A = this chain, B = another copy of it.
Amino acid sequence: MTPSLERLVEQFSKLPSIGRKTATRLAYHVLSLPESEVRLFASALIDAKTTVKLCSVCGTLSEYEKCDVCSDERRDSSVICVVEDSRSMSAIEETREFKGVYHVLGGVISPLDGIGPEQLKVKELVRRLDGTVKEIIVATNPSIEGESTAMYLKKLLAPHGVKVTRLAYGLQVGATLEYADVSTLSKAIERRTEL
């Protein structure tokens, strides 16, 4: 393997979940591409890194000072959906169900990893409660950390006279009871709805 190919393999293997074998396969693939394609790939890397900043309002990834959602006047800014990261926000946007705005925490409270509320954009969230905000939907992941972050936010925000809600737990659409995990199934029974 030539030194420059070796360096490319190294770069690929630094990516998450890409081992040395896969990295080698990807590097050889790059050599088989036309040079113009490789240049497109290289500039896509640099462009994404240099143009993407954080929205000054909600903290999501954005190429402008304010992201698409925050600068869209049709969005209901009285409902803020709090998410862990921009990926969660994209997932919710894809449902086209939510008409409010977002707030990206930048993670979840996780004492074992040394992450407390100070490491997250919690202060920035509180600062957004200017009296016009009626509801905060806490959409952190349904993990232990996501759950305790939700409880923390509930306690913190309640005194501000704002309604704090959480995404519903339940069975996945299309799931079979047989394969549902125990805790999901018990939540689904506990929070059953009338037909």
Contacts and interface: CB of A to CB of B under 8 A. Distances in A.
Interface string A19-53: 00010111111110101011111111111111110
Given A5-B61, A35-B50, A90-B1, A16 B42 contact: no
A129 interface: no
Interface of A (DSSP majority class): helix
Interface stretch (A7-15, A109-117, A141-149, A163-171): A7-15
Interface of A: 1-5, 7-8, 10-11, 14-18, 22, 24-31, 33, 35, 37-52, 61-63, 85-87, 90
23 contacts: A1-B90, A2-B63, A4-B48, A8-B44, A8-B48, A11-B44, A11-B45, A14-B37, A14-B41, A15-B26, A15-B29, A16-B26, A17-B22, A18-B26, A24-B87, A27-B48, A28-B85, A28-B86, A28-B87, A30-B49, A33-B49, A38-B46, A42-B46
A119 B46 CA distance: 37
A63 B15 contact: no
